[in-house]
Amino acid sequence: MTEQLRLMAVHAHPDDESSKGAATMAKYVSEGVDVLVATCTGGERGSILNPRLQGDPYIEENIHEVRAKEMEEARQILGVRQAWLGFVDSGLPEGDPLPPLPEGCFALQDTEEAAGPLVRLIREFRPHVITTYDENGGYPHPDHIMTHKISMVAFEAAGDPERYPGTGEPWEPLKLYYNQGFNRPRTMALHNAMLERGLDSPYGEWLKRWEEFQRKDRELTTYVPCAEFFPVRDKALIAHATQIDPDGGWFKVPMEIQQEVWPTEEYELARSKVETSLPESDLFAGIRHN
């Protein structure tokens, strides 16, 4: 293709873009791809997960502003563009029975209506490829599941001139992927590598829960080599200071082990309007030379 390739990553909250596919995005930016992160909510109801910042009254009272600043720092580190879709964080309900979701939150919106801002953004940015979450949200946070729902609607609707009139000229994205970076083969490989080196693995409990819940493995279709950008990913993650403990489990596996044992980020091809052969090593496979 002679025109610039464009990738859109649709995420639920600020910080999701740095924990899911960040090294892939940084790799493509380095190759001249135009990358846009669409963030559905402001993360207003997210807990402060970094123990060093817990109890800070300024952060607690200004969490929306703080997380927006964190997002801007991470955006600059990754070299991407970013747009807010403007929905309100639903929070993660806890308890038995689960409490109702807060009125007006993202997860309670009508799916067809909520897809409108994303359709508008797709028609404006004109991505060739979109990444998002699978039907389980990657994990069952209501905002992640809603992100999946509006992404599916928008992917199909953006190219249809009859749908969403007044939101720009139709544009048909060519491929849609689900982020699948948290997969069992990767987790097992890193777990075993740590044990073989006499190190404590942070993944023992993860693997036990996988077995307990008999979680079905997803189909991994696309392995993007991006190990050299793992440090960029981690730097972007740490920029989300309220959400990431720099001494936490995200960083327990030494970088050199990650890069040697599992040098890719993984995706599941969910929709394709171009011919491609699986497995892939490039989100733009079937597009670059079409």
Query: What distance in Å separates the CA atoms of residue 253 and residue 201, rounded to the nearest whole number?
Result: 7
Q: Establish whether 13 is an annotated binding residue.
A: yes
Neighbouring-strand partners of residue 267: 179, 222
DSSP class of residue 68? H
234 labelled ligand-binding: no
**Residue 264 φ/ψ, nearest 5 degrees:** -130, 165
Record the tokens describing residue 130, joined without a space.
């979109």
In this structure, the strands spanning 34-41 and 175-179 are unpaired
Q: Is 16 annotated as a binding residue?
A: yes
172 Cβ partners below 8 Å, 6+ apart?
158, 159, 273
Kindly state the tokens that stand for 271: 């929709």
* Whether 176 contacts 188, CB under 8 Å: no
Tell me the torsion sign for CA atoms 50, 239, 128, 38: positive
Q: How far apart are CA 248 and CA 232, in angstroms?
A: 17
Rg (CA), the chain: 19
Other CB atoms within 10 Å distance of the CB of residue 151: 25
Q: Which residues neighbour 256 within 8 Å (Cβ) at sequence distance 6 or greater?
A: none
Binding site per annotation, positions: 13, 16, 144
Residues that constitute the known binding site for Zn(2+): 13, 16, 144
